[in-house]
Structure 1
Amino acid sequence: MTDAAPSAESQDHSIAEAVAGGFPAAVAELGKLVRIPSVSWPAFDAAHVAASADAVAELLRGTGVFDTVEVKRAQKAGFPDGELGHPAVLATRAARNGRPTVLLYAHHDVQPPGDEANWQTTPFEPTVVGDRLYGRGAADDKAGVVSHLAAIRALAETADPLELGLSVFIEGEEEHGSHSFVNFLEDNRDALAADVIVVADSDNWDTETPNLTVALRGACAFNLTVTTLGHASHSGMWGGAAPDAMLAAIKLLSTLWDENGSVAVSGLTHHDAPTPPFDEAELAASAAFVDGVRAIGTGSVLDRLWFQPSITVTGIDAPSIANASNTLVPSVTVRISMRVAPGQASDDARDALLAHLEANAPFGAQLSFSDIEGGDPFLVDTDGWAAQAAKQAMTDAWGKAPVEAGIGGSIPFIADLVRVFPDAQILVTGVEDPDTRAHSPNESLHLGVFRRAILTEALLLSRLNRNQA
């Protein structure tokens, strides 16, 4: 007489116990990764990114699950002389007995800390305050890395046998444009091929309610240089007749929005989909409006954030106030960042915006464009079996059904995943919450969200380990 196979309920209970037992180690490992200042921007020491990749690889090897764990680099797309991107980590385990293969993605590089005077804790010293862990990368996205790691450990501890195929891709330059991402996919296409791709780089509705991200806006960014004069001239001698570049730039930029602050560029589209309730008072609190400021745009708040285009001037190169001589500025450069509504190709939106700027240049000002970047938006098919399984795992781990939410931000490389792996089902999950402040001073991770995110993924992997693809 043979022993009966454990029930699904019993296996889920075992997974939950394994996650709880491993959680202190997961927090400690996350802290060690946060201490590595793996900023991928050119002005920072690339050796720290390499050290971070090595640390992640060692953690993955320590699971004993993978057939191979490698630190790899790929050539940057569009860069001369074969310049390589920052190191990524690739771990693989072949599926057994017809089980599906799951690709788990996160990134180990982080944003610069910014002015440390604006931090309440030291940016690269993980610090627990209340129920939050503070530090650069504590949430975005080293918590994504460790959530994968902890879920895999729980799976390995409880699965008998472990037959699920696993690939783990931990990128090293997501915060600086993912310039080698496309070539990395092509170089490692076979190793990365999967039935399901889990991208752990998004957020949750709040600290008690999970998200399954179903829509992401695309992105386009570029430098715009406005030139009106061959050199600076005395503002008293020539002001009022000679058009300075600052005047031309201000007038030109003002044409991008209507009186409500909505984008006023012909050719940009709007995705039509329902949104959950979220009022302007919640917006004001979440986005830290100062007293007296009111919201911009029209339509529901979440429609504006998820499904409409937006345009932001994120930087201006012009004389500083300290260097402001009484001269007409001959040239001004601004950085323009546009978010593209789901359903429109980023290239089409970019072309519409450039055409608008060229058509509205005042006083015959000369325009030039440089450092153009872009990425397409993304819509999830929530009817797929993987999305249904993920939503059930979220419900069981959190005790609440997930919100199917859009995200105002962009993850441009997802369009590359769709192109290279068109048959894979892509799930966008995450460990962040509305108070995470990713990219900002005082970035933090809610430890309860972290634990539930790990349990969600562990339940999903355990259930897929019991099913054939």
Structure 2
Amino acid sequence: MTDSQLPDTSSPTAPAEGALRNAVQHGLPAAIADLSNLVRIPSVAWDGFDHSHVQRSAEAVRALLEGLGVFDSVQISRAPLETGDMLGQPAVLATRAARNGKPTILLYAHHDVQPPGDDADWDTPPFEPTVLGDRLYGRGAADDKAGVMAHVASIRALTETLGSDFDLGLAVFIEGEEECGSLSFTNFLEQHREQLAADAIVVADSGNWDVETPALTVGLRGNVAFRLKISTLDHASHSGMFGGAVPDAMLVAVQLLSTLYDADGGNAVAGLTAHEQQTPEYPESQLRAETGLLDGVSPIGTGSILSRIWSKPSITVTGIDAPSVKNASNTLVPSVTVKLSARVAPGQSAASALQAIQSHLSTHVPYGAKLEISHVELGNPFLVDTSGWAVADAKDAMTEAWGKDVVEMGVGGSIPFIADLVEMFPKAQILVTGVEDPDSRAHAPNESLHLGVFHRAILTEALLLAKLNARA
């Protein structure tokens, strides 16, 4: 079914809701244990890492889905990369056909994780799940193996409550390369279009307002990333002999990169646009607490803090290839390569943002230095249509599970493939949920999952599935 006007008959009976709550509560230890087993697998899909772990992670996810006993098919699949003849990383796809006119819901998460970085920066081993207080620490504990387990545990609870003969259609898509760019994502959608078609899509890869307040993500910034090589010389020269007459690449890099920012540290690139929206109250003290901003260091940008994060563009220099301090010699550097990561506000395409940044760089480069752009990555921003029945059901389920009203929030980060989902399945309603909170530190050392949030996220999804199963 793809009718967005399904009548509202979605409220499960009180006994069913109570049984679901009990099932989720009783199943929580098993869900945490299964999550811990997934965290132990270092499933980093980046180049330079052992990809056999990604395969092993996919096999573990497949076993979990097969163990639910409700799917018509569970498979591991790879799709071709967007360029070349190679295949992408293994994804897991499970499907169950809807019956008796019920809707189908697609549940998405990803089982690959970010690299751990330096183990010395972690308080616990990154791939040894460790419970400290009310948090589970480990790489992928929050982003996004907890999303995987929220899907698994909610279906377990639904099956325990209703039996395996319910009518709701299910598709579960657990990607294996989200953290390295989802390079085969579009081809995967095309390859499995019929199996993935759904009335509603839950993307469990976002966060919540705090550990006590649920959130539905309704806006995501897009992204533009690329490498910029800056060159001024065809070989290194003695800085004492020629410094002061010859511009080296480091000088150009410092001057050129500084032009990207205005006096407040905000965007200075003409052609990058902002999106006007109201934002909840978010004091500077909260920003400092959640980011570790040092005393005496001021925030950047203008306007409300959340508007700077959710609905304005930003540019970050995320890496520089240049001589290290340890290996520095007294020479003029002939070339420097930097990686730029820009966030694109909703309402602007990533392609037009890239064009604006390229135009700015070529216009402002000093001394006639040579610029070369490569390794371009683009992801469009997204705004959720909140008028559909699936959004209403999801917000009701969140309120019931958390006991608090839902915050509609934007996210400064990007989930570019959502735009691909919308393009492929334009009639499907998109629900962006998640298990993270402001202290989860996804992508950073000491990533963690709040176990209370995990519990409520599972209960939310179980209640949502029950509501959708009750729809006609």
Using the size of structure 2 for normalisation, the TM-score is 0.97
Matches within 5 A, 1:72-221: 72-78=77-83, 80=84, 82-159=85-162, 161-221=165-225
In the TM superposition, residue 12 of structure 1 has moved relative to its aligned partner by 1.1
Residue 382 of structure 1 corresponds to 386
Q: 2:334 aligns with which of 330, 334, 344?
A: 330
CA-CA distance at 1:427 after TM superposition? 0.4
Deviations 1:136-191 (A, max 9, x none): 10110000000000001111112265000000000000011100101000000000
- The 5-angstrom pairing of residues 1-16 of structure 1 reads 8-16=13-21
Partner of 1:359: 363
1:48 maps to 2:68: no
CA distance in 1, matches of 2:464, 2:259: 48
Structure 2 Cα separation of the partners of residues 281 and 239 of structure 1: 45
Match of residue 460 from structure 1: 464
Distance, in Å, in 2 between the alignment partners of 1:141 and 1:134 is 13
Change (3 A) 1:47 1:10: same
The answer on whether the counterparts of 2:12 and 2:467 sit within 8 Å (CA) in structure 1 is no
Structure-2 change in CA distance of 1:63 and 1:225 (3 Å): same
SS of 2:326's partner is helix
Give the corresponding residue for 1:17: 22
CA shift digits 1:254-294 (9 cap, x unpaired): 10000000100011110001000001121112111112100
Whichever residue aligns with residue 23 of structure 2, its letter is A
Change (3 A) 1:402 1:304: same
CA distance in 1, matches of 2:310, 2:162: 39
- How many pairs does the alignment contain? 461
* Correspondence for 1:32: 37
Q: CA deviation at 1:230?
A: 1.2
Q: Distance in 1 between matches of 2:283 and 2:237?
A: 49
Separation in 1 of the partners of 2:397 and 2:380?
Answer: 28
Q: Secondary structure at the match of 1:98?
A: coil
Cross-structure match for 2:5: none
Residue of structure 2 equivalent to 1:60: 65
**What do the CA deviations read for 1:221-251 (whole angstroms, capped 9, x no partner)?**
0000111111111111111011111001111
Deviation at 1:73, TM superposition (A): 0.4
Deviations 1:203-226 (A, max 9, x none): 100000011000000000000011
- 1:292-316 deviation digits (Å, cap 9, x = unpaired): 1000000000000000000000000
| Partner SS, residue 264 of structure 1 | coil
Cα-to-partner distance string for 1:393-424 (whole Å, 9 max, x where unaligned): 00000000110000000001101001101110
Q: Which residue of 1 aligns with 2:262?
A: 258
Sequence identity percentage: 65
* Match in the other structure for 1:3: none
Choose from 389, 401, 404 the match for 1:400. 404
Looking at structure 1, the residues matched to 109 and 68 of structure 2 have their Cα atoms a distance apart, in angstroms, of 17
In structure 2, the partner of 1:309 is 313
Letter in 1 for 2:26: G
Question: In structure 2, the residue corresponding to 1:367 is in which secondary structure?
Answer: strand
Q: What is the CA-CA distance between 1:7 and the residue it aligns to?
A: 6.4
Deviations 1:15-58 (A, max 9, x none): 11111111110000001101111111111101000000000000
Question: Structure 1 runs of 4+ off > 6 angstroms?
Answer: none
Structure 1 residue 372 corresponds to structure 2 residue 394: no
Mapped pair 1:417 → 2:408:
no
Q: d(CA) in 2 for partners of 1:151 and 1:284?
A: 35
2:144, 2:205 within 8 Å by CA — same for their partners in 1?
Answer: yes
CA distance in 2, matches of 1:295, 1:230: 40
Conserved? CA contact 2:12–2:466, under 8 Å: no
* 2:354 alignment counterpart: 350
Q: SS at 1:429's partner residue?
A: strand
Q: What residue in structure 2 maps to residue 294 of structure 1?
A: 298
* Equivalent residue, structure 1, for 2:450: 446
- Write the distance in 2 (CA, Å) between the matches of 1:32 and 1:153: 17
Find the residue that maps to 2:31 and give its secondary structure.
Answer: helix
Distance in 2, Cα, partners of 1:7 & 1:245: 65
Return the TM-score normalized by structure 1. Answer: 0.97
**Quick one: which amino acid aligns to residue 111 of structure 1?**
Q
Task: Give the Cα–Cα distance (whole angstroms) in 1 for the partners of residues 271 and 32 of structure 2.
Answer: 47
**Counterpart AA for 2:47:** P
Corresponding residue for residue 247 of structure 1: 251
Letter in 1 for 2:19: S
Residue 230 of structure 1 aligns to a residue whose secondary structure is coil
Change (3 A) 1:74 1:384: same
Is 2:315 the counterpart of 1:285?
Answer: no
Structure 1 residue identity aligned to 2:38: L
Task: Say if 1:236 and 1:39 are closer, same or farther in 2 by CA, change over 3 A.
Answer: same
Moved more, 7-16 or 131-140: 7-16
CA RMSD of aligned residues (A): 0.9
Shift of 1:367: 0.4
